[in-house]
A = this chain, B = another copy of it.
Amino acid sequence: MDFRGVSLIAGRETARAGAEFRAINPATGSAIDPPFFSATEADVDRAVLAAQEAFLVWRKRNAHDRARLLRAIADGLDAALPGLVARAQQETALPEARLQGETKRTSGQCRLFADVIEEGSWVGARIDTALPDRKPLPRPDIRSMLQPLGPIAVFGASNFPLAYSVAGGDTASALAAGNSVVVKAHPAHPGTGELVARIIVEAVRSTGAPEGVFSFLYDQGFAVGQALVQHPLIQAVGLTGSRNGGRALMDLAAQRKEPIPCFAEMGSTNPVFLLPGALRKNGNQIAAGLFGSFTLGAGQFCTKPGMVFVPEQQETTPLVDELRRLTGASTPFNLLTPGIAANYTRSLQSRSENSGLSMQQASSSGGTCTVSAALFETQIGAFLDHPEWSQEVFGPTSMVIRYQQREAMIRAAEELEGHLTASVWGTDEDLAEYADLIAILERKAGRLIFNGFPTGLEVSDAIIHGGPYPACSDSRFTAVGSRAIVRFARPVCYQGFPDTSLPDDLRNANPLGILRMINGNTTREPVTAG
């Protein structure tokens, strides 16, 4: 692989001006050649100016042109899969099968958004035809539809080197809606980033998109990201990251002279509630599934179940014993970066010093990123006294919280902060009996799962990957699935315009054949002369 190691602005390489850094192989802890070079603040400005110039062209390209770019990116990703997976494996130590799946998910997301915009109804077109004879005043013709926002800043995620990084869901949905994109690459996988960025640049060229529609900036530190979010021409921000990182960017976006939306998905602890009937019915199956879920991807999913509420009953001890056994017998895990590993180790250390928490941990040895799984156990009284135990610990760990009283569990549910998901295992009878729990969880999470685990997110029309703060900056949007596109679009209304001057989406004849609300009725029919 021949890496250039520099940022790409509107398809052109930058100079090797900024600070030098290298990726680290989490399996060995050693740096990988060649070096990469941080962008400068001048690069940020050039990238955003190019993005603005390109936006003026791109926003007027029709959906088929935009879809062509997304499909070319998807094809490029698929064609490059072996090389992408090989480099990503070096940079992340994630298993090959996972990275293959993630690459396919990434190209799949590009094609999903291509399909969404070619189908076209996502713009939510609405038409209220004129009522010239209405009393006391005539009604003018009023039509509206979603249109793109402008240049969008996208931040690569450490834990999704493909699906939520350079060509990930934020980039794909932003481009699909007609925005331009400036990506700040995650420094933990710069080589994977460069490979993907080159695929996008090539797709931009081969499909005739304006070159500034995509730029790609490196930074080992924070200056580039901060300058990007603060640039006056940037119109929105999309990221998947930590709570601290996400909140810092939210605050920068809100403090601008012109505040902009910052969509930050910041992870969560994803509570799991095991109800009595489910425990009786299949406690052991749950133990294996739960262990698999909290250690999947070395526990580095935003949806990792980190809190498990279990009632005290006959089946509880064998279930917890089995979780302990699986944890103790597990082989070491490599976390994504030395920083993540250090945080994990520090969090475990801090929790293990609490008298109210017991810990089962496997032994580990290896590089600076190598850790072992850990299972914490506590009683609900101690848990309620320690709100800090409900914070996310990124890595292969979870906590079992045992309770005697249903009321204490309900109280713990009521005290939950916002989460991406909440899972409930139960029988249909449990579900009826615990309707109060479900009603609480609807207010606490973006996605409720029944008899399943939260990892293994489906990318679909109905999926929601979001939730109340701090899981997400704005619970009204989702990071994943076809609905994610509306994060980067705003409605524009046309009053009294002649048919020939309207966007195709709003013209009488409905040349795009999309679903529209016409005088309150949703239809694909044309507007008939009033």
Contact = CB atoms under 8 A, between A and B. Distances in A.
A487 B431 CA distance: 31
A133 interface: no
Contacts of A464: 144, 491-493
A149 interface: yes
B495 A447 contact: yes
Interface in A479-505: 483, 486-487, 489-498, 500-501
Contact of A458 (B128, B254, B452, B494): B128
B443 A497 contact: no
Interface in A136-165: 137, 139-140, 142-144, 147, 149-150
A111 interface: no
Contact of A447 (B469, B489, B493): B493
B476 A121 contact: no
A60 interface: yes
A498 B259 contact: no
A431 B500 CA distance: 10
Nearest to A472: B490
A374 interface: no
B495 A448 contact: yes
Given A137-B456, A522-B121, A492 B448 contact: yes
A250 interface: yes
A461 interface: yes
A446 B493 contact: yes
A292 interface: no
A261 interface: yes
Residue with the highest number of chain B CB atoms closer than 10 Å, among A139, A442, A493: A493
Interface residues of A, number: 77
A251 interface: yes
A56 B442 CA distance: 11
Contacts of A475: 149, 490
A428 interface: yes
Nearest to A142: B462
Contacts of A450: 494-498, 501
Interface in A5-35: none
Contacts of A517: 461-462
A258 B469 contact: yes
A493 B463 contact: yes
A126 B461 contact: yes
Interface string A221-259: 000000000000000000000000000001100110011
A496 B139 contact: no
B522 A448 contact: no
A456 B435 CA distance: 47
Nearest to A463: B142
Contacts of A458: 128, 139-140, 142, 495
A439 interface: yes
B476 A490 contact: yes
A473 B254 CA distance: 10
Interface string A359-374: 0000000000000000
Interface in A44-81: 56, 60
A530 interface: no
A438 interface: yes
A404 B260 CA distance: 35
Given A464-B491, A470-B258, A486 B497 contact: no
A476 B491 contact: yes
A428 B500 CA distance: 9
A359 B65 CA distance: 50
A358 interface: no
Contacts of A493: 446-448, 462-464
A439 B61 CA distance: 13
A406 to B, nearest CB: 18
Nearest to A474: B261
Given A142-B458, A438-B501, A449 B496 contact: yes
B520 A515 contact: no
Given A447-B493, A449-B496, 5 more contacts: A147-B442, A447-B492, A462-B517, A475-B490, A478-B491
25 contacts: A121-B522, A126-B483, A128-B463, A143-B462, A144-B462, A150-B443, A254-B259, A258-B418, A431-B497, A431-B498, A438-B501, A442-B492, A446-B493, A448-B492, A448-B494, A449-B496, A450-B494, A450-B498, A450-B501, A452-B496, A462-B493, A464-B491, A466-B490, A515-B522, A522-B522
